[in-house]
Amino acid sequence: MRESSQPAFWEVRYEREEHLFGTAPNTFVATVADRVPPGADVVELGAGEGRNLIFLAETRDCSGTAVDFAPTALQHAEQLATTRTVALEVIQADVRTWGPARRWEVALVTFLQLLPGERPRLYRLLQQIVRPGGWVFAEWFRPDHLTGDFARIGPSAADRMVPAAEVRSAFANWSIERCAPADVMLQEGPRLRGAAAVLRFAAQAPHPTDEADR
C-alpha cells in the first residue's frame, strides 16, 4: 500500500522555513473559537507550529496539546508559545499509530493530509480521544480543489483530499453540526494563499445520556 508523507518530508520544510502556515490561527478555527468552552483542554493532530492552539490559549484560556511527527515543527511551536506567554504541551507522534491513554474536550485538525487507507483510523482516533459531549473541528482540502478554478496550493493529489460523504459516514453516531464544502480564499502564512476548495467539519460527541438512550 502507498504510504502517506513520511516525517522527513515535513521536517525538511520546517527546517528551511519557520511559520510555514503563519502565526495567526486557521480562519475556520478562529470562526468556531466561541464554541470552544473557556478553559477547555484541546488537542490538535498534525498541529505543525501550534498557531491554532496558541490562539485558543490566548483567547479562550485553553490548555493545548500539539501532536505532530515533525520535531522541528514542535520546537517552533514551543518557541512561539513562549513568545506569546502561553503554555503548550507538545507530543511527537505519528497519528497513524498514536494511541494516547487520555482524552480531551476538543480536537482540531487543519490540513492534515492522509491517504484514504489511513483516514478511517484518524476518524476512530478522534472519536476515542474526545470526551463525551466534546467537539471535533476540522478543515481539509476537498477533491474539487484539483478540478475547479482554484490556486495550485495544498496537496498535489486528490486522494490526500477529503470527501464530505466519507467524514459524514465515519461520524454517523455523532451530532454533525457542519460537514460542508466551502470555497474560500486562504491566507494562511506565506505558502497557503489563494482560492481553495475545502471541507469544514464540526461535530459533537454523543453525551453519556445519548449513548444510554441507544
CA angle 55, 38, 123 (to 5 degrees): 70
Give whichever of 21 and 150 is closer to ligand SAM, judged by the CB atom: 21
Binding mask 101-140 for ligand SAM (x = CB under 6 A): ---------xxx----------------------------
46 binding ligand SAM? (CB under 6 A): yes
Rule CB under 6 A: choose which of 35, 60, 84, 96 binds ligand SAM: 96
- Nearest approach, Cβ of residue 38 and ligand SAM (Å): 22
| C-alpha radius of gyration, the chain, whole number | 16
Q: How far apart are CA 153 and CA 109, in angstroms?
A: 18
User: What part of residues 57-76 is at the interface with ligand SAM (CB under 6 A)?
Assistant: 68-70, 73
Closer to ligand SAM at the Cβ: 8 or 211? 8
With cell 480564499, the residue in question is 185
Residue 90 interacts with ligand SAM (CB under 6 A): yes or no:
no
Instruction: Answer yes or no whether residue 171 interacts with ligand SAM by CB under 6 A.
Output: no
Supply φ then ψ for residue 78, to 5 degrees.
Answer: -65, -40
User: CB-based contacts of 120: which residues, under 8 Å, 6+ apart?
Assistant: 170
Looking at the Cβ atoms of 112 and 136, the one nearer to ligand SAM is 112
Report how far apart, in Å, the C-alpha atoms of 21 and of each of 170, 184, 194 are. 28, 16, 13
Q: Strand pairing partners for 208?
A: none
- Applying CB under 6 A, which of residues 3, 17, 61, 94 lies at the interface with ligand SAM? 94
* Closest C-alpha among 201, 14, 199, 36 to residue 133: 36
Q: Which residues bind ligand SAM (CB under 6 A)?
A: 4-5, 10, 21, 26, 46-48, 51, 68-70, 73, 94-96, 110-112
